[in-house]
Every structure is written in structure tokens, then in C-alpha cells.
């Protein structure tokens, strides 16, 4: 039987597990493992009774030896990593030690430095090649689908893409004064970091949320969007032919930004440890503990997301503008898999990437970002698996 090990039991993991079980001909056996085994057991209980055989286990993903023992015992073909990005390297080490293929949704970030980049994982390329193993990096939505969108645009509509603008809009409302739609710690570290974009061969740095644009998004309407640094900029700047500039914009409401500014001003977003009642704690860890769990937002969240890429370049000497995007409804996601759309749009692509690997369509030794594979089978699966995409050849959203 084809076996898959999924590490993680949060909101995204719940989507991955449900979608794997919707494709039992490919995912015949699934093990769910995380530090908190009760979460794995609860998810297993939701999925039992279908054709996919589901198991649960406890594992500390910070401990390579524990991971190796679990992998050797279960013997999966591939590990789907939907744990924390701090744990990417220990899981990759365990995969190398056991001869197991690897897939994740977000690149490595050191726990003590709010800086995420691919250099640590790209350094594994030769070892995975020599072992005959595939590692697929960043197979969520952004990163993930945005890279596939860019590769698809280049393959079918461009000789060269000169600019890419990635637009991520969440028009959902969960009713809380302040909450994050994915892991609060990762979310806040990302947003409070300096912005960066790539232009004419170099990185240009901005202050956090310094650059704002207003976009009118299909099925959502006008939203304020802010320039952030996002990891797919790094890989797309290397892998897309002709690229001269690439930027990433994400929407935030004024209420969210006001709360974030207050929390930042009083030190609650800091990752520098402080002493409290005789113990060293990170303020951001405490803030994460008191904020709503993103996995609990599903039944409360209404509205839609819109995420896509605007590409501009040339084909046969003529200028081309192309916009490809997905609109996802929070309530539809919750009805299907018990999740809001942020987790859904990350979890579905992770399942698709693993599916394409198991089918031999995305399988080659080494470490790769998603845009380095053939985009066509992935784009076809998006339409089948719940994330249909739209395209527009005359976008007028951003310059």
C-alpha cells in the first residue's frame, strides 16, 4: 500500500488529511503525527471509516532521532511537513537518514531570528540528488500555487516575464477584534519584518507596511494591500525567465493594523526573551497562547479570499499582460472539510503536490521549488480538488 506520513495536526494538516482521504486510490494509508497526539487522534476519528487507512502517532519534530524512528517504523513513501517552519531541517535530515521523499509548505526559519529564506534548504540539494530522493519546497498557496501560476504563465503565454505582482486578499470576517488566520507566531513575525522586493537584479528593502496600494479584487471589492517580503520572491527571481521585478502584496484592514501597532508598541510581538516569574519567555509565544487558535476560526469566518499573480512580459515580440487567480469561499471550505479558506488554500496544494509525486509526475532527485516542475498537471488538479482558477488577459490592478 502507498503510505504517507504527515507531520503536523493544526488547521492546514486537517485540510491535507481530509483531501488525502478524498483521493484514496492514491493515498491508501496515512499517518498523522505531531507533538500533541490528542490532536492527531481527534483528526483520525473524523476520517476513520473511509477507504484510506488512517493512523495517529506522537512525535517531537524538533528531534531528528524521534522522526527517524517513526519513519523507519511506518515506512512512508513521502513525508508531508505541515509542522512549523523551524522544524524543516530536522525533518529533512530524518528523510535523508531513512531514504524518504519530502514535501513542505513554507521555507525554513530559525526560531531566534525572524528571517526566512531558502539558503538552508537549498543547501540540501546535492545530498537529496545523491540519495535519489525528491524534496518539494513551498507547496502551499503562497508559496506554492503562486509559483505554479507563474510557471504556467511562462510556459503558455510568454517568452519572457518581466514583472510579477503576487496579490493575496482575504475578504473574510471572523468577528474577533484581532486574530490571525494562520499560526499567530509565524504570521506576526512575517508582517512586522521589513518588506523587500526584487528589482533589476537586487533586493530593495522597505519599512514594515510602508508601501500600500488599493486594489479592487474580483468577488471581494476594494482592499488595502501592503508590500511584504514573501519567500517565493526568492525562488521565482531565479527560476522565471526574463524577470526584472517581483513583488508581493497582502491585504490588511485598519482594525488589524491598529491592534498590531499597539501590540508591537508594548513589546508583545518581540521574540527577545524576558524574565517573568523566574522564567524566560518570549512575549510573542505568550501572545500566541492568548489569541484565538486559527483552527477554531472556521465556523465563524464568512467571506472569500482572492490570491493570484499578475504577469507582464513579451510573447513573439508583443507585450502581454496576464492575471491568474483563485477565489475561495470560507464557508464552503468549512462545509467541506471543517476549515476556513486560509488553511484550505494551503492544505489542498500540499495534497496535490504529494499526489503528483506519488503518481510519478513530480518526481526527480534533488531539492526543488514548485515552479521547477511541469505546471500543467498541478493546474488541472486545482480545478478538480476545490481551487478552480480564473484568468484575465487585460488586468488593471497594479502598476
Q: Which residues contact 58 (CB under 8 A, 6 or more apart)?
A: 33, 34, 35, 36, 37, 40
Distance, CA of 341 to CA of 363 (rounded, Å): 28
**Mean pLDDT value of segment 217-226:** 95
**Mean pLDDT value of segment 213-239:** 95
| Pairing outcome for strands 318-329 and 389-392 | antiparallel
pLDDT band at 288 (very low <50, low <70, confident <90, very high): confident
Q: What is the pLDDT of residue 2?
A: 92
Q: What is the pLDDT of residue 1?
A: 72
Q: What is the pLDDT of residue 396?
A: 66
Q: Which sequence spans correspond to the domains of the chain?
A: 3-137, 145-337
Domain 3-137 homologous superfamily, CATH: NAD(P)-binding Rossmann-like Domain (3.40.50.720)
Q: Which residues contact 308 (CB under 8 A, 6 or more apart)?
A: 146, 149, 166, 167, 323, 324, 325, 326, 389
pLDDT band at 397 (very low <50, low <70, confident <90, very high): low
Distance, CA of 348 to CA of 344 (rounded, Å): 6
**Mean pLDDT value of segment 296-322:** 91
For residue 285, pLDDT over 90 is answered with no
Q: What is the pLDDT of residue 76?
A: 98
Distance, CA of 162 to CA of 97 (rounded, Å): 41
Q: What is the pLDDT of residue 88?
A: 97
For residue 182, pLDDT over 70 is answered with no
Condensed to tens digits (0 to 9), the pLDDT of residues 19-66 reads: 999 999 999 999 999 999 999 999 999 999 999 999 999 999 999 999
Full strand arrangement of the beta sheet holding 366-369: 53-58, 29-34, 3-7, 78-81, 101-104, 134-137, 366-369
**Mean pLDDT value of segment 71-91:** 96
**Mean pLDDT value of segment 381-396:** 91
In sequence order, what E strands does 66-220 have? 78-81, 101-104, 134-137, 160-170, 195-199, 202-206, 212-217
Condensed to tens digits (0 to 9), the pLDDT of residues 112-170 reads: 776 778 999 999 999 999 999 999 999 999 999 999 999 999 999 999 999 999 999 99
Tell me the CATH class for 145-337. Answer: alpha beta
Distance, CA of 53 to CA of 38 (rounded, Å): 18
Q: What is the pLDDT of residue 376?
A: 98
Distance, CA of 7 to CA of 93 (rounded, Å): 14
For residue 317, pLDDT over 90 is answered with yes
Amino acid at each position: 500500500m502507498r503510505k504517507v506520513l504527515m507531520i503536523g495536526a493544526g488547521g492546514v494538516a486537517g485540510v491535507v488529511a481530509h483531501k488525502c482521504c478524498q483521493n484514496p486510490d492514491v493515498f491508501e494509508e496515512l499517518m498523522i503525527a505531531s507533538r500533541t497526539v490528542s490532536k492527531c487522534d481527534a483528526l483520525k476519528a473524523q476520517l476513520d471509516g473511509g477507504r484510506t487507512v488512517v493512523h495517529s502517532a506522537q512525535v517531537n519534530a524538533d528531534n531528528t532521532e524521534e522522526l527517524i524512528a517513526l519513519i523507519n517504523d511506518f515506512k512512508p513513501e513521502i513525508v508531508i511537513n505541515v509542522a512549523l517552519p523551524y522544524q524543516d531541517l530536522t525533518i529533512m535530515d530524518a528523510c535523508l537518514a531513512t531514504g524518504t521523499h519530502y514535501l513542505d509548505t513554507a521555507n525554513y526559519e530559525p526560531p531566534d531570528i525572524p528571517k526566512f529564506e531558502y539558503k538552508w534548504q537549498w543547501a540540501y540539494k546535492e545530498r537529496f540528488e545523491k540519495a535519489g530522493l525528491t524534496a518539494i519546497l513551498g507547496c502551499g498557496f503562497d508559496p506554492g500555487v503562486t509559483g505554479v501560476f507563474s510557471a504556467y504563465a511562462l510556459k503558455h503565454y510568454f517568452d519572457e516575464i518581466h514583472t510579477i505582482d503576487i496579490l493575496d486578499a482575504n475578504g473574510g470576517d471572523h468577528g474577533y477584534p484581532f486574530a490571525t488566520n494562520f499560526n499567530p507566531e509565524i504570521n506576526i513575525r512575517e508582517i512586522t519584518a521589513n518588506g523587500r522586493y526584487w528589482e533589476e537584479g537586487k533586493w530593495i528593502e522597505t519599512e514594515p507596511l510602508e508601501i500600500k496600494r488599493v486594489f479592487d479584487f474580483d468577488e471581494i471589492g476594494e482592499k488595502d494591500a501592503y508590500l511584504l517580503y514573501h519567500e517565493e520572491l526568492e525562488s521565482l527571481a531565479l527560476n522565471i525567465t526574463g524577470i526584472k521585478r517581483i513583488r508581493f502584496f497582502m491585504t490588511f484592514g485598519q482594525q488589524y493594523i491598529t491592534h498590531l501597532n499597539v501590540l508591537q508598541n508594548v513589546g508583545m510581538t518581540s521574540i527577545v526573551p524576558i524574565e517573568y516569574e523566574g522564567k524566560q519567555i518570549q512575549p510573542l509565544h505568550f501572545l500566541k497562547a492568548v489569541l484565538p487558535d486559527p483552527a477554531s476560526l472556521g465556523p465563524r469566518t464568512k467571506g472569500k479570499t482572492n490570491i493570484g499573480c499578475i504577469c507582464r512580459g513579451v510573447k513573439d515580440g508583443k507585450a502581454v499582460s496576464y492575471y491568474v487567480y483563485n477565489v475561495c469561499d470560507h464557508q464552503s471550505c468549512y462545509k467541506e472539510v471543517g476549515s476556513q479558506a486560509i488553511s484550505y488554500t494551503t492544505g489542498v496544494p500540499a495534497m496535490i503536490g504529494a499526489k503528483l509525486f506519488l503518481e510519478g509526475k513530480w518526481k526527480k532527485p534533488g531539492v526543488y521549488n514548485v515552479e521547477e516542475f511541469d505546471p500543467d498537471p498541478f493546474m488541472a488538479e486545482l480545478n478538480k480538488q476545490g481551487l478552480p482558477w480564473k484568468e484575465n488577459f487585460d488586468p488593471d490592478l497594479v502598476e
